[in-house]
Each structure stands twice: as C-alpha cells, then as structure tokens.
Amino acid sequence: MKDVMVIFDLDGTLVDSIEGLAYSMNSVLEANKMKSHSTEDYFDFLGEGIERLVYKALPKTHRDAESVSDYYKKMLVSYSDYFDRDLEPYDGIYEMLDTFAHMGVKMAIHTNKNERMAKIIAERYLGQYDFLRIIGDDGVRKNKP
C-alpha cells in the first residue's frame, strides 16, 4: 500500500508488559515498607506513562511532587532490571505485522513508556520489523493522550 502508515502504542497493544511493570513498582513499594498492589490493580494505573503509574501506586501520603520524583527514579532502576518479566507480544501480533510489512504499510511506535526502554523492547521482541520511528517519553516532549 502506498502512503499508508500505522502508528502503534506499545504496552497493551503490541506487547503484554503488565507483569514487569507491576513487579518493578511492587519491588520499590516493598523495599520502602509500603503496601504492594495486585497485578490487576496496575491495569488501572496504566495509560499515562510510568511517572503517573508511580503516582497512582504510591500511598496518598507519598504523592507530593518530591516523593513522586524520588520514587519515579527508583522505579526506573527497578524496571530496568525487570521490564521483560513475562513480557511477550500478544497473540496474532506477528501475523498482523507480517501482513502490514508484506503490504508495504509503513509502521511506527508511539508510546508513553520511557523511550530508551521502548526501543529495547521493540528491538528484542519486534526487531524483525522495520519501524520508521519509535517515540517514547524522553522527558522533553509531552506524552501522548
């Protein structure tokens, strides 16, 4: 197909990454003597980037800007260790991407995930596909809605 492009989100669209996110944040919470959450709870925390996930996972008494910033940094360290815990592309993703690639559809990824982590995941799990761009949270650009 000429001049057709598809832009995908990453988490919850191409790959199931909830376990790594939940495990990483729960590790931070438990290391700081805070209550952890079920994996299911994290579905409600997703959609606005990791910093917002941290905010939602923290107890209300720790949601001031300084605490969120501190725990966000801790979460990034934890997530760099566990981001791929039980991570896998959803069923049918490879077949769909194969079809688009065969049709000549241009593809890109735009995610609220940290851009460096998004690129690592895309390379490791979707590296056989030629994504024109992988755009994530770089701390400068505003996250997607």
Question: Which are the catalytic amino acids?
Answer: 9
How does 124-143 read in b/e, with b if 16+ C-beta sit within 10 Å? Answer: ebbeebebeebbbbeeeeeb
First to last CA, the chain: 28
Q: How far apart are CA 49 and CA 85, in angstroms?
A: 18
Q: How far apart are CA 58 and CA 26, in angstroms?
A: 10
Structure tokens at 43: 């579905």
